[in-house]
A and B are shown apart, each in its own frame.
Chain A
Amino acid sequence: MFEFTADEIDAIRLSLWVASIGIAASLPFGMFVAYALARWRFPGKIFLDALVHMPLVLPPVVTGYILLILFGRRGPIGVWLEQTFGIVFSFRWTGAALAAAVMGFPLMVRAIRLSLESTDRRLEDASRTLGANGLTTFFLVTLPLALPGIIAGLVLAFAKALGEFGATITFVSNIPGETRTLPAAIYTFTQVPGGDAGAFRLAAVAMVIALGALVISEVLARKTAARIEG
């Protein structure tokens, strides 16, 4: 029953890879946007906030379609990225990673923003009067204090990215070994006669990964909280 075929192993590995790369690559952006939303006042802030949350409320197919228009082979950003950096998204695993990142982004930003908003600004003031500039204060005081929230944001975004289906399949299709992630593989199995066993195995894997991610995040969050509080 639990003997995986090569295609299934491929889908599992690809999913973990795509979600990891997507989330890791979006973390710096997520930190920056969360910091801007938590700490800065600027015109258009409410629109940035809304834009970041869009993938949460839009049908994933629409998000995938927008990605296709912007980042596809003939999309304005897609063309620019290919000419400047040689990065191609369409029908590649990189596109799946981008879709995963975009779909996980709102959850990541939300968790990091909340934890930045709840860190004690007065400690940052204390740091600055002791000789630390803004950047040093961020790394020595703000970041460690916000760490539990950052971890929570990462895990949530990772779980969301792992389950991403609609945007991915719209943007980069369902190519075995390239863009066929776990959900796409499960979907494919359900569409063919005799695919039940495969679908069941992959569904079990998805559940184990999701459960594992939640347990790990909880343990990490408790450990960091304990470390911070002493």
Chain B
Amino acid sequence: MFEVSIQAPLGEFNLDASFRSESMVTALSGPSGSGKSSIVAAIGGLVKPKRGKIAVNGHTLFDSDARLAVPPHKRGMRIVFQESRLFPHFTVAQNLMFGRWLAGKKRDAQFDEVVALLGIEPLLSRRPRKLSGGERQRVAIGRALLADPQALLLDEPLASLDAARKEEIIPYLTRLVLSAKIPVLYVSHANDEIERLAQTVVKIDGGRVTEIKKH
């Protein structure tokens, strides 16, 4: 599902990470600053590695030898960022519809399904600023899911939440991960509940892959 082999400068050291996972759910775990977010950004096309290759679901997204770099908007890699990054000038419903609207789709059964799955129906007409951290993350997950993802990249979705908010969101994430029909890359710096649901865990430290565990 994920095939990553990239080199890129990263702060004081170099990112030089290679891993391959055929699992539906892959966890990427390691301490802060180890290069996890850079890997997510590279898969999403937001940063360009110096050299290497990235393929997801059999589609090559980046290949420095072939001078190939698919632009981010054509990759279908939907990222849930740590800080949710909801659009402040849109309502929750408009945020959720962002990707669908770009794809020429309307509010449909899938929209209702995702809204129900994440329990965000009461929030639809609100603005992101009026939401709690946990609510924001649920909306961000919904926004990514509704944008017809080729893969879902969850970049430490729990990291900015306090314990109570984490408890609030974990059931949703668990349900999502267990029912994943698309490849999911779950990034975390703590050995947490969701990580334990992954079939493959890639450990990373200092920009290098240190261990690949398969369950």
Q: Name A's B-contacting residues (CB within 8 A).
A: 120, 122-123, 125-133, 136, 140-141, 144-145, 227-230
Contact partner, A130, options B83, B91, B147, Cβ 8 Å? B147
> What are 20 inter-chain pairs, A to B, with CB distance below 8 A?
A122-B81, A123-B85, A123-B88, A126-B81, A127-B87, A128-B45, A128-B73, A129-B45, A129-B77, A130-B102, A131-B76, A131-B102, A131-B147, A132-B73, A133-B73, A144-B89, A145-B89, A229-B88, A230-B126, A230-B128
Known: A130-B98, A230-B129. Is A145-B81 also a contact (CB below 8 A)? no
| Distance to closest chain A CB from B45 (angstroms) | 8
Q: A129–B89 contact, CB under 8 A?
A: no
CA distance A228 to B79 in the complex (A): 23
- Interface: B143 (CB within 8 A): yes
- Interface: B52 (CB within 8 A): no
- Interface: B20 (CB within 8 A): no
Contact partner, B89, options A128, A131, A133, A227, Cβ 8 Å? A227
Q: B88–A145 contact, CB under 8 A?
A: yes
CA distance A133 to B45 in the complex (A): 12
CA distance A230 to B93 in the complex (A): 13
CA distance A120 to B88 in the complex (A): 11
Residue of B102, B128, B130 most packed against chain A (CB within 10 A): B102
Q: A130–B78 contact, CB under 8 A?
A: yes
Closest to B72 in A: A128
Closest to A120 in B: B85
CA distance A106 to B145 in the complex (A): 44
B91-134 Cβ-contact flags toward A at 8 Å (1 or 0): 10000001100110000000000000000000000111110000
Interface of chain A: mostly helix, strand, loop or mixed: helix
- Interface: B180 (CB within 8 A): no
For the complex of A and B, the 5 pairs showing the least CB-CB separation, nearest first, are A230-B127, A126-B85, A128-B72, A130-B99, A228-B89
| Distance to closest chain B CB from A151 (angstroms) | 14
When distances are taken between beta carbons in the complex, the residues of chain A under 8 Å from B85 are: 120, 122-123, 125-126
- Interface: B71 (CB within 8 A): yes
When distances are taken between beta carbons in the complex, the residues of chain B under 8 Å from A141 are: 87
When distances are taken between beta carbons in the complex, the residues of chain A under 8 Å from B71 are: 128, 133
CA distance A126 to B99 in the complex (A): 11
B128-160 Cβ-contact flags toward A at 8 Å (1 or 0): 111000000000000110011000000000000
Closest to A136 in B: B102
Q: B102–A132 contact, CB under 8 A?
A: yes
Q: B102–A129 contact, CB under 8 A?
A: no
CA distance A125 to B83 in the complex (A): 13
Contact partner, A230, options B74, B78, B79, B130, Cβ 8 Å? B130
Contact partner, A123, options B45, B87, B130, B143, Cβ 8 Å? B87
CA distance A64 to B46 in the complex (A): 46
Closest to B81 in A: A126
CA distance A157 to B61 in the complex (A): 45
CA distance A132 to B90 in the complex (A): 15
CA distance A144 to B88 in the complex (A): 10
| Distance to closest chain A CB from B38 (angstroms) | 13
When distances are taken between beta carbons in the complex, the residues of chain B under 8 Å from A126 are: 79, 81, 85, 87
- Interface: B49 (CB within 8 A): no
When distances are taken between beta carbons in the complex, the residues of chain A under 8 Å from B44 are: 129
Known: A126-B79, A130-B78. Is A229-B129 also a contact (CB below 8 A)? yes
When distances are taken between beta carbons in the complex, the residues of chain B under 8 Å from A145 are: 88-89
Closest to B126 in A: A230
When distances are taken between beta carbons in the complex, the residues of chain A under 8 Å from B76 are: 131
| Distance to closest chain A CB from B112 (angstroms) | 20
When distances are taken between beta carbons in the complex, the residues of chain B under 8 Å from A128 are: 45-46, 71-73
CA distance A125 to B153 in the complex (A): 14
When distances are taken between beta carbons in the complex, the residues of chain A under 8 Å from B144 are: 130
| Distance to closest chain A CB from B103 (angstroms) | 6
When distances are taken between beta carbons in the complex, the residues of chain A under 8 Å from B91 are: 230
| Distance to closest chain B CB from A142 (angstroms) | 11
| Distance to closest chain B CB from A17 (angstroms) | 33
